Structure 1
């Protein structure tokens, strides 16, 4: 390694050139600031500024006493990873395929589909009309509606529209896997906000905002992984906190909207200048549609629209056509009613069977998953369950600090049957008893 330069820009450029050429590989440790300054004959503040610019650009990262190292693409856990083989899959986080509508049948409805060309409106008019009416039931402020490539895409674009690398984002703890990945890949810092049965805790949110968080990403209901939903009382407390920080971007990810068993309560107060409500269709129309509806304030809409240019990167109008046909179909509405009842029944069934075997889940979750806190090591429990033919996710994947939820597991209940719920609860109780005996 031969770093050159006498200014911060030259030193940072030299490092970037060596990273680009492969001379500096990911995780390579850069020289200590004092040592490099002495070697180059410059002030140590010059090297410190160069390193800071490299970190801000995502080229390097600081590791405290471990020094400054060349950044690598982070290895991220992802959703939808099932068990495969002969295991019973309670790990994937997927909706029940039997409760999703027929996408191909919808594609053929609505008359002859004409291929759109460059320059057409980026949002299907019929879909925009439906979405605007849907959002208007919950939003009192003026808003515009856009379409993004799913909730994760919408959240990433919204953050990038208002924030820069190094900014802090308040997120739930535990948190949706994709949100963790979005923050890490874009160089944002995370401020974990603890979640309980009623959702985000206001005291923890206030602490994160007072510590400098510039955005909040919140799941108002069917929180993944815990299944918690915000109560009306909790929302009033959160709105009071956010009202004291009107400059903060507020993003609500209402991913389970059409099939949630809980009402939507809006956390965004009138004083908030920049906000967005995101409703994906993945959980109730199908993950492969890759489509989310976004309502936002005027300025945020302009910024998001610039990142969803009608000229080159609009969301496929064929997908929008399909989504519109499905959302307007009374038969699909009936399917959503069945899905809402089925998911609530299945998660409740699992909670009841766990209770019968001495494992408590302190509230009725909403959504596709049940979060179970254990008094034994969660990873050991996952491994022991796998040996017995059951696949679940360890809780440490969903948190920034694994020590805060060492005993947690996430169990996907979306397709669980009554015999499976009973068998799994009995197996988990046996595993917990064994691990208590061994001290794991």
Structure 2
């Protein structure tokens, strides 16, 4: 830390100094910070002063603590940092999972059909359509709130139910998006081990008494692709009934694009629950709405915050999305995309298996490949011309791996990629 120029004698001075070092590039995202005692000795201050500085930074989402893994600068701190260099021309980006290109022809037709109605638009049935969409999956809600992104939806729910410092049970590893929202809200994620069928019931039951909220992904978990089946859903419901005071949030990051049935977890009479369904993977960020269902209090709180503090979704976007959801051409294209994702996912899993490499994913446009050191593996694959994503491990013993998007993979690329993964794991 001395070489990073960190200084200060009060907690605010130390936290500001660390933040400045990150902004100026002297401390890089992911950099490990000294222990509280080591930094206190270096700055000649009390350990409680450094502990307070670290707590301030954690609450702002600038640093994160990983048990025996120590305290590190968060990979995506909410402050301006030096821009990342552009990708080299020979590197293929396998991190992207959105499919707005597939919907573009239907979007063009929808906009053409809307042109005559935009001057004096009639009522939009988007909320009613989304309520029925939830009900078709067994989620009974008195209403929905529609927001501009899944991240915003999750942020609004957490803000309505929790306070900074609250502990939240979340699947481990988790997604970049999930980790961002938790850390930026000053919440403490508590890892829950997962397998191919979602959160392991015993692991969830052990930590439920210690948390204020629990986030569960019924299908298409990012990054592992796990899917909760009816048996696992029943087991989780039984465990959650023993902790009625815990807020339950169901996170559906892929929505219909998951291509598998949705198993609801929340009991209808649970005091505090919500379900977030994202349409961003289908329609892209500009039209990628998210819908929130939930108990009456949660829905009312979120709606009130949106009306008073947020930027309500524009009427034009609402109308376009409503038309897309009702348009048969969109449904046909999305069904084709889901089938294509499935075949590409299975093809990559098969190529990896043929080379003795374990991988899995039950849904979604990605495959999860466990590795002992994900940072080293991503770096070595980058050198071979592949940019892949990882999960966001929440603890020192968290499962590490590569999340490889199949959205842009063809047969030849799949075989080459599998060969390169084998070389990386053998190195």
TM-score by length of 2: 0.80
* Paired positions, count: 393
3-state secondary structure, aligned to 1:194: strand
Aligned residue for 1:278, secondary structure, equals: strand
CA displacement at 1:82 relative to structure 2: 9.1
CA distance 1:101–1:398, shift in 2 (3 Å): farther
CA distance in 2, matches of 1:417, 1:60: 39
The CA deviation string for residues 3-49 of structure 1, in whole angstroms up to 9 with x for no partner, is 6xxxxxxxxxxx76x799x79965899979xx989xxxxxx99x999
**Residues 342/199 of structure 1: CA separation in 2 closer, same or farther (3 Å cut):** same
Q: For 2:98 and 2:61, locate their aligned partners in 1 and report how far apart those are by CA, in whole Å.
A: 35
Residue equivalent to 1:107: 111
Q: Judge conservation of contact 2:227–2:363 (CA < 8 Å) in 1.
A: yes
Alignment of 1:272-351 (within 5 A): 272-309=270-307, 313-351=311-349
Pair 1:398-2:392 in alignment: yes
2:62–2:78 CA contact under 8 A, matched in 1: no
- How far off its partner does 1:313 sit? 2.1
Contact 1:171 1:193 in 2 (8 A): yes
Residues 190-228 of structure 1, C-alpha deviation per residue, up to 9 Å, x if partnerless? Answer: 1111111001111111122122x1111121111111111
Matches within 5 A, 1:83-102: 83=87, 85-95=89-99, 97-98=101-102, 102=106
SS for the counterpart of 1:289 is coil
Tell me the residue number matched to 1:438: none
Secondary structure of 2:90 counterpart: coil
* Structure 1 position 430 matched with structure 2 position 423: yes
1:142 shift after superposition:
4.1
Matches of 2:17 and 2:201, distance apart in 1: 48
The corresponding residue for 1:214 is: 212
User: Residues 89-147 of structure 1, C-alpha deviation per residue, up to 9 Å, x if partnerless?
Assistant: 2233443733555435423433422499xxxx9xx731112111111222454421110
Structure 2 equivalent of residue 133 of structure 1: 132
Q: 1:427 to 1:324 in 2, by over 3 A?
A: same
Tell me how far 1:187 sits from its aligned partner. 0.5
2:25 aligned residue: none
Q: Deviations over 1:406-431 (max 9, x none)?
A: 4x211111121111111111222123
For the Cα contact (< 8 Å) 1:217–1:250, is it kept in 2? yes
Taking the aligned partners of 1:277 and 1:389, their CA distance within structure 2 comes to 38
Equivalent in the alignment of 2:29: none
Does residue 1:416 correspond to 2:414, yes or no? no
Query: Which consecutive unaligned segments of at least 5 residues does structure 1 have?
Result: 4-14, 38-43, 436-440
Aligned Cα root-mean-square deviation (Å): 3.8
The answer as to whether partners of 1:169 and 1:188 remain within 8 angstroms in 2 is yes
Deviation string, structure 1 residues 375-404 (Cα, Å, up to 9, x no partner): x533322222222222222x4x52123553
Q: Is the 8 A contact 1:26 1:72 kept in 2?
A: no
| Alignment of structure 1 residues 228-247 onto 2, 5 Å | 228-247=226-245
Match of 2:375 in 1: 379
Change (3 A) 1:281 1:162: same
Question: Counterpart of 1:369?
Answer: 366
Answering whether residue 178 of structure 2 is matched by residue 179 of structure 1, we say yes
**Corresponding position of 2:77:** 75
Q: Is 1:224 the counterpart of 2:204 in the alignment?
A: no
Query: Secondary structure of 2:102's partner?
Result: helix
- The 1:341–1:60 alpha-carbon spacing in structure 2 relative to 1, beyond 3 Å, is closer
Q: Answer whether contact 2:58 2:183 (CA < 8 A) is retained.
A: no
Kept in 2: contact 1:173–1:400 (CA 8 A): yes
Instruction: Give the Cα separation in 2 of the matches to 1:223 and 1:60.
Output: 25
Q: CA deviation at 1:344?
A: 0.6
TM-score, normalization by structure 1 = 0.78
On the 8 A contact 2:141/2:293 being kept in 1, the answer is no
- Give 2:158's aligned residue: 159
- Structure 2 gap ranges (5+): 1-7, 22-32, 80-84
Contact 2:167–2:187, Cα closer than 8 Å, also in 1:
yes
* Separation of aligned partners in 2, 1:52 and 1:414: 40
